Amino acid sequence: MKFKWKDRARGVQSYDANAVGKQLARLLKKCGALTPETLADEAYEHPNSPLGKCGYEWDVQAAAEAHWRSHSSYILRSIVYLPEEDDDEEAQEYAEVRAFLAVEEDVDEDVDPDEPISVVYYDTKESLEIPSRRKNILARAKAELRAFRKKHKKLNELAAVFTAIDSMSD
């Protein structure tokens, strides 16, 4: 079996996916299961291996800053609306909906796949009222559904879900 990076994989496209995949398969056979810690340890112990060359940041300060940005994004993705009892019906409809949604800045189709996409977060309710943001959010949601379909295509139990995804217009 050969390996490749999934569509839209960021920050790794310049690395040899087949070599990394084969190294991961060997590591899986050796360990029985893979964890992020297993991969980080393997990359650290074998820095010249395909995995070791796969974009790890070993500068502690730079790695800390990247972690802080990642954690900040996680916080933004984790906050949901919690309407109060006396809120109107519209507010009640937003119960448990993310309070902030990521909106990708317009990206040229010829963008380098190893360059990170610039994402900003906006209030969800406000963003759904602004046509350009709503269009961006809808496009992202459809892309996530297509990615879900690809990821789970071997689960025949989801055939009805896949049919619905396939029937979406772009």
The string of pLDDT tens digits covering residues 22-56 is 999 999 999 999 999 999 999 999 999 999 999 99
φ, ψ dihedrals at 123, nearest 5°: -60, 130
Instruction: Report if residue 161 sits inside a domain.
Output: yes
Report whether 50 contacts 19 (CB < 8 A). yes
Instruction: Report if residue 63 sits inside a domain.
Output: no
Mean pLDDT of 125-154: 90
49 plus 104 within the same structural domain: no
Instruction: Report if residue 42 sits inside a domain.
Output: yes
**Burial bucket for residue 20 (CB in 10 Å: 0-12, 13-18, 19+):** buried
Instruction: Report if residue 159 sits inside a domain.
Output: yes
pLDDT tens for each residue of 49-80: 999 999 999 999 999 999 999 999 999 999 99
* Mean pLDDT estimate for the chain: 88
Instruction: Report if residue 51 sits inside a domain.
Output: yes
Q: Which among 40, 56, 72 is the end of a domain?
A: 56
Rounded-to-integer distance, Cα 66 and Cα 47, Å: 20
104 plus 162 within the same structural domain: yes
Instruction: Report if residue 90 sits inside a domain.
Output: no
pLDDT tens for each residue of 90-113: 888 888 888 999 887 654 555 555
Instruction: Report if residue 80 sits inside a domain.
Output: no
Identify the pLDDT of residue 143.
Answer: 86
Rounded-to-integer distance, Cα 50 and Cα 18, Å: 9
Number of domain units in the chain: 2
Identify the pLDDT of residue 95.
Answer: 87
Rounded-to-integer distance, Cα 82 and Cα 42, Å: 43
Question: Which one of 12-16, 26-30, 137-141 scores highest in mean pLDDT?
Answer: 26-30
Of 113, 11, 25, 1, nearest to 53 by C-alpha is: 11
Rounded-to-integer distance, Cα 100 and Cα 97, Å: 9
Q: What is the dihedral of CA 146, 150, 151, 157, to 10 degrees?
A: 100
Identify the pLDDT of residue 103.
Answer: 85
Instruction: Report if residue 49 sits inside a domain.
Output: yes
Q: Give the domain range for residue 49.
A: 1-56
